[in-house]
A and B are shown apart, each in its own frame.
Chain A
Amino acid sequence: NAGVTQTPKFRILKIGQSMTLQCTQDMNHNYMYWYRQDPGMGLKLIYYSVGAGITDKGEVPNGYNVSRSTTEDFPLRLELAAPSQTSVYFCASSPNWGNEKLFFGSGTQLSVL
Chain B
Amino acid sequence: GQQLNQSPQSMFIQEGEDVSMNCTSSSIFNTWLWYKQDPGEGPVLLIALYKAGELTSNGRLTAQFGITRKDSFLNISASIPSDVGIYFCAGVINTGTASKLTFGTGTRLQVTL
Contact = CB atoms under 8 A, between A and B. Distances in A.
Majority secondary structure of chain B interface residues (helix, strand, loop or mixed) = strand
Interface residues of A, number: 25
Contacts of A105: 42
Given A4-B42, A42-B4, A59-B1, A99 B99 contact: yes
B94 interface: yes
Interface in A32-48: 40-45, 48
Given A59-B1, A97-B97, A107-B42, 12 more contacts: A4-B42, A40-B106, A42-B6, A42-B88, A42-B104, A43-B43, A48-B98, A94-B99, A98-B94, A106-B42, A107-B40, A107-B41
23 contacts: A31-B98, A40-B105, A40-B106, A42-B6, A44-B103, A45-B101, A50-B97, A50-B98, A90-B43, A92-B42, A97-B98, A100-B31, A100-B33, A100-B48, A100-B90, A100-B94, A100-B99, A101-B33, A102-B43, A104-B42, A104-B44, A106-B41, A107-B40
Interface of B: 1, 4, 6, 9, 31, 33, 40-45, 48, 88, 90, 92, 94, 97-99, 101-106
